[in-house]
Amino acid sequence: MQVSDVNKINMISQVNPTHDQLDYTTSNSDGNTQPGTSRKRQNSEKDDIENKKLKVTEQLQIPVMGESEKFSFSAIQNLATNITVSFNMLSDRMIQMESSIEAKISAKIESALETKVKEEVGKFKKDIQQDFDRINEKIDNVQKSYDDLAKNKDNGTINSSRAANIVIKNLEYDAREKDDNQITVHKVQALFRDGVWNCRGWSTRRNDNSTFRKLVLEHSNCDILAICESFLREEEQLCVPGYKWLGHNRTNLHRNAVRGSGGVGAFIRSELFNSFDIEIIDKSVEGILWIYFNCKYSDLTFSLGICYLPPSISTRLNDQEKFFENLLHQVYCNQLKGNTIICGDFNARCGFNTDYIEGIDDVIPRSVIDSIENHNGDLFSDFLSDVNFAMLNGRLGVNDYTYISPAGKSVVDYFCVPYEQLNRILDFKVLRMSDVIDSVNYHPESIPDHSILLCDIKCVMKQNSENYDCKVSKRIKRNTKNVPNDFLTDESVQQMVRDTITKIENFIHVDQDIQSAYNEFQELVQREMSNRLPVVKQIQNKRSKSFYKPYWNETLQKQWNTACEYEKQWLKFHGSPQRKKLMKDRYCYERKTFDKLNRKFKRKFNIQKERDLQEQLNSNCKRDFWRSI
């Protein structure tokens, strides 16, 4: 404000040409002294204003002119002086008013904010209190139910008038169940977790990214993880402990290609081979692999088709129509072999294309997040409606972009099942790489751009054998650090212990069956453990950052969080394209900053490590050196 006032005053003072002429020899327009004149302390802006005022009044004494000119000039000077004074007064008044308004507005905003915050906090507190009350009520009810149940158990009586009922939903009905309830009991629901990920190259060599990919595989906790673009050549195979690799590598590579390209395959959990006969049934078409699963202990069978279709503008010779024609043929051939699942990267952006015939097929519409369509997308939608398959993306669980990079985002990876099998999908979700990186606590050298798609599939089967071991049960760990003193000696379990001892004695002395005796003992201890010892919360994949990135620090964490936050904002935003572009640019900037910082800290760390090693090597105590490496 003051600076602009000074400018105004300067302009007014320049009305006097004589002043300019006279003054020019001693000072320039900025008021700085010319070379050769005496050096003076520079005035503050306030002083400057006062000086200007003085100068204006001093200038009035200068003229040597004719009488009439003198009179006119004197009048103009008076006028200018009056205007200057008026402007100065006006300026002071404006400053006063401005500060007064600012103070008033601040006070009002403060009071309004205080009221609003109080109101919101009050509401929030009330909501939390209500939630607490509800939870307490539920806990009380659960406690009461448990007490009643325990009482009945202790008394050794079961209320015959109201038998315990277990409701199993979505289980297929068998007519024989009417006469024999054991058939229902023998029905087993198996749960599979299937996933698909376009990893864009999984090197057989041990490097940073292969470590990260193994962690992703571990994190996904999949029984079957389909992989697209394995980039493996000829008969190359991947090896990850706990999994077996079944792959179909691309055979005809570009003559100049220095590495493999394309290629599909799947990691299958080793335990699955105990319960299933698993075989490749078709790999006749490049980019399509069919794997057949046949349960050894039940009539459950299903086939999984893993696909990779290069983009239409790929430099490779590819014919999308032929690809879908082949896939159609294979689906018709394989659908007689039980359930069918198709997954993979189709490079198909379907937009609002429908994968069913409206008015004829009874399928729920899907939500669309990627509205752009391409040629592959049109062909893919047509293919799905031809074979009566529905994509899971946008229909179940969490939908998200399957490709996210600074270049852009899209939905190109899909999971598809026949319409009638949609109700067997319990859950479907798309995990962004940024979230996966956070979960596994490992920042790879290069961040993959394809998300990972996961779906939980319920397979209903009729069990043929007691040896069934399809789903690996989750191990529950209990806290054994603080075993209560009355463990197995409490009055409520004493009778149970005595009974078990009798049973064990019978098994050993009468039946001579050591295994059954041991089973009895084990069951007794496990029951008591489940009643008395709390479960240890197992945090999966929450390793220390330092385990993988010893140079990880707060700056990197902060920058990573910022990049993730901006990525989310960009992806969630639905508004003007200009604003969306701004948000994307902001995300790209933060992401690049993170990459730079990551490299910087890594370099620093390595240099420091090198120096430390050097120092240890030079020191007298060589043992430290050998220990550290």
Contact residues for DNA, defined by CB under 7 A: 198, 200-201, 203, 205, 207, 209, 229, 231, 253-254, 256-259, 261-262, 310-311, 313-316, 345, 347, 349, 372, 375, 403, 405-410, 412, 445-449, 581, 592
Closer to DNA by Cβ: residue 40 or 205 = 205
Closer to DNA by Cβ: residue 345 or 456 = 345
What's the min distance (Å) between Cβ of 196 and DNA?
12
Structure tokens that stand for 132 in this block: 């607490």
> Would you tell me the crossing angle of helices 554-572 and 577-618 to the nearest 10 degrees?
160
Angle (CA) 407 410 414, round 5°: 140
Nearest to 545 by CA among 439, 623, 430: 439
What's the min distance (Å) between Cβ of 325 and DNA?
20
What's the min distance (Å) between Cβ of 368 and DNA?
14
What's the min distance (Å) between Cβ of 313 and DNA?
6
Residues in the chain, how many? 629
Strands (E), 338-423: 339-345, 389-391, 403-405, 408-410, 413-418
What's the min distance (Å) between Cβ of 570 and DNA?
10
d(CA 509, CA 2): 106
What's the min distance (Å) between Cβ of 226 and DNA?
14
User: Could you tell me where the DSSP H helices lie in 62-172?
Assistant: 67-155
Closer to DNA by Cβ: residue 123 or 259 = 259
d(CA 415, CA 428): 9
What's the min distance (Å) between Cβ of 288 and DNA?
14
What's the min distance (Å) between Cβ of 433 and DNA?
10
Pairing of strands 264-269, 224-228: antiparallel
Closer to DNA by Cβ: residue 153 or 609 = 609
Q: Please give the biggest Cα pair distance in the chain.
A: 146
Closer to DNA by Cβ: residue 249 or 347 = 347
User: In Å, what is the CA distance from 577 to each residue of 573, 574, 584, 591?
Assistant: 10, 8, 10, 21
Closer to DNA by Cβ: residue 306 or 493 = 306
What's the min distance (Å) between Cβ of 271 and DNA?
28
What's the min distance (Å) between Cβ of 280 and DNA?
21
Closer to DNA by Cβ: residue 8 or 316 = 316
Closer to DNA by Cβ: residue 320 or 500 = 320
Closer to DNA by Cβ: residue 305 or 444 = 444
Nearest to 265 by CA among 186, 187, 204: 204
What's the min distance (Å) between Cβ of 575 and DNA?
15
Closer to DNA by Cβ: residue 228 or 266 = 228
What's the min distance (Å) between Cβ of 375 and DNA?
6
Angle (CA) 367 372 378, round 5°: 90
Contact 59, 9 (CB under 8 A): no
Nearest to 228 by CA among 440, 403, 446: 403
Closer to DNA by Cβ: residue 17 or 575 = 575
Angle (CA) 451 452 455, round 5°: 140
380-383: long-range contacts (C-beta < 8 A, 24 or more apart)? 380/324, 380/346, 380/348, 380/350, 380/355, 380/414, 381/348, 381/350, 381/353, 381/354, 381/355, 382/324, 383/324, 383/327, 383/328
Closer to DNA by Cβ: residue 9 or 217 = 217
User: Could you tell me where the DSSP H helices lie in 179-301?
Assistant: 181-185, 208-220, 272-275
What's the min distance (Å) between Cβ of 454 and DNA?
19
Closer to DNA by Cβ: residue 398 or 582 = 582
Contact 336, 371 (CB under 8 A): no
- φ/ψ bin of 31: left (φ > 0), alpha (ψ from -120 to 50), beta (otherwise): left
Amino acid making up residue 68: S
Contact 230, 238 (CB under 8 A): yes
